[in-house]
Amino acid sequence: MGAGGRRFESCHPDSQNRPFQANWAVFLCATFLLAVNRQYKNQKPTIKVKAEYPYTPARIVDSDEPYVVYYIWHVQREKKIRKRISLVGTTRESKLEDGAKIVKEINTLLKKGWHASDEDYATEQEIAQAIGEPVRKPDKPEAISFMEAYSLYRQVKAKDLREDTTITLYDSYIKHFERFLRQRENIEDPLQTPKIKLHEITQPIANAFFDQSHQGGRYRNNMLGFFRSLFKFLINRELTLKNPFLNIETVPVDESDDHRPFTQAQAQEIRDLILKKGDDQLWLFIQFAYFLFIRPGKELRLLQIGDILENQVRVISGNGKNRKTGYVDIPRALEQTITELKLRDYPPHYYLFTVNKKPGHKPVGKNYFYKRHVEIMKELELFGFDYDLYSWKPTGAIVLYRHTKDLLRVQRHCRHSTPDQTYTYLRKYGEVFVGTDLTDFPALWE
């Protein structure tokens, strides 16, 4: 019985004389849904986009190979996804500096609502606007050469990567591959571009390239990662079907491959070339790193005149890796250089290394000496073999140990907290037992 005692009957032919009690709530809901359905057919629904999305802020993971990690909201998956960014730099300090900058940039974007979606790449119009020229994409993928494919990759990625670091490193990887391809095609002209097509880069060619590679393990693995990423990009752009570098394995990297120390002959060649170029400032920087075992990042780059004491150099805790104030004895050879240049005569608040090539108010940038040192490494064909500006620190430690065989003296000079730390540091370069003769080990009972 409904409202007012009114009875409703079903319209179904088999429902004669089967009355039911009317449910007004169901009736009203059905009416409302029908109305909404009619309205939906006549117009598109309006989607309200959130201004902010859930995220986990970016941070530096301080491991053997530091990197940045963060979690960003993915619209289609409706969850946070993990993102990892490798850091750029030749030393641990430079990588951490790069990471700090990246963390700041990413967290600023996340706070503004930056999020991920299935659109992995920017549109052609966005890229053209960013780089100031249209993106050239071939009409027939099978006709594109490998070098044309890399030009496209470089053009697209240039809007997100730094020209002075990452892109330059990518170019160096390509130069190695170009040299290999020219030899394979019997091209004698070093300026002639290889003509091999993109689809002709097969796994046997990729294997042959890395089989003949003589770069250091870390450099080789980084180069392999680049080529994998390059071909992943080209597959997504439907320019090729397979990634020929995908199944090539990385090589184990020994700790001693990181900042490989220089030999005496190499050190002499480097000194002669630097002085021949008239770059006395770079050679002074190297001498401080070599004689004092000071890290070239913040410790040496931000050294001030007031830190050069009478017999020692002070390493300020804010610049040191262990956040402590350390003191390092000044060797006689370095003292002669300090005296000749009259460095202690400058105001104590002046930085030792400036762009004016003499002590002043503003220190040099983090890549100031690194770039010039890389040019020297390239000219001497040492680049890509794990030799870098940081290598002068372990070089000095090894020379001091060989000269003195005094582990405690090396420990003090390295500012290590324990002899075990120094022992481990030297042993990874295979130096602890150098020069030890066990043939005269006497028998106690004789």
CA distances (Å), 88 to each of 101, 160, 222, 294, in order?
11, 14, 11, 21
**362 Cβ neighbours under 8 A, 6+ residues apart:** 351, 354, 355
Based on the domain organization, do 167 and 243 belong to the same domain? Answer: yes
Q: Please identify which residue in the block is written with the tokens 């050069």.
A: 308
- The three-point CA angle 432-434-439 to 5° equals 115
Return the pLDDT at 32: 43
433 domain-assigned? no
Res. 371: pLDDT tops 50: yes
SS3 326: strand
| Structure confidence by residue, pLDDT tens digits, 2-22 | 434 333 333 443 444 443 344
- Compute the mean pLDDT over every residue in the chain, rounded to the nearest whole number: 76
Helix (H) or strand (E) holding 370: helix 368-379
Q: How confident is the model at residue 257 (pLDDT cuts 50, 70, 90)?
A: very low
pLDDT above 70 for 383: yes
Contact, 350 vs 248, CB < 8 A?
no
Closest CA to 206 of 176, 234, 186, 233: 176
Residue 352: pLDDT over 80:
yes
Give the integer Cα–Cα distance in Å for 343 and 262.
Answer: 28
Average pLDDT over residues 225-237: 90
Same domain flag for 185 and 305: no
The pTM of the full predicted model, rounded to 2 decimals, is 0.46
The C-alpha atoms of residue 256 and residue 75 are separated, in whole angstroms, by 44
Could you tell me if 147 and 200 are in contact, meaning their C-beta atoms sit under 8 angstroms apart? no
Radius of gyration of the chain (CA): 33
Q: Are residues 241 and 326 in the same domain?
A: no
Q: Is residue 363 one of the residues assigned to a domain?
A: yes
pLDDT band at 273 (very low <50, low <70, confident <90, very high): very high
Residue 245 predicted with pLDDT over 90: yes
What the block records as the tokens of 11 is 């319209």
d(CA 114, CA 262): 46
- Does one domain contain both 36 and 62? no
273 plus 419 within the same structural domain? yes
Taking 80 as the threshold, does the pLDDT of residue 326 lie above it? yes
Residue 335 has pLDDT above 70, yes or no: yes
> For the residues 423-445, what does the mean pLDDT come to?
62
Same domain, 21 and 161: no
Domain count, the chain: 4
- Tell me the residue range of the domain where 321 lies: 264-427
DSSP E strand boundaries for 214-268: none
Which of 48-57, 91-100, 191-200, 390-399 has the weakest average pLDDT? Answer: 48-57
pLDDT at residue 342, as a whole number: 94
Q: Could you tell me what percent of the chain has a pLDDT over 70? A: 73
The whole-number pLDDT of residue 128 equals: 47
pLDDT (average), residues 114-124: 56
- Residue 430: what pLDDT? 62
Q: 168-184 and 203-211 are packed helices; what angle lies between their axes, rounded to 10 degrees?
A: 100
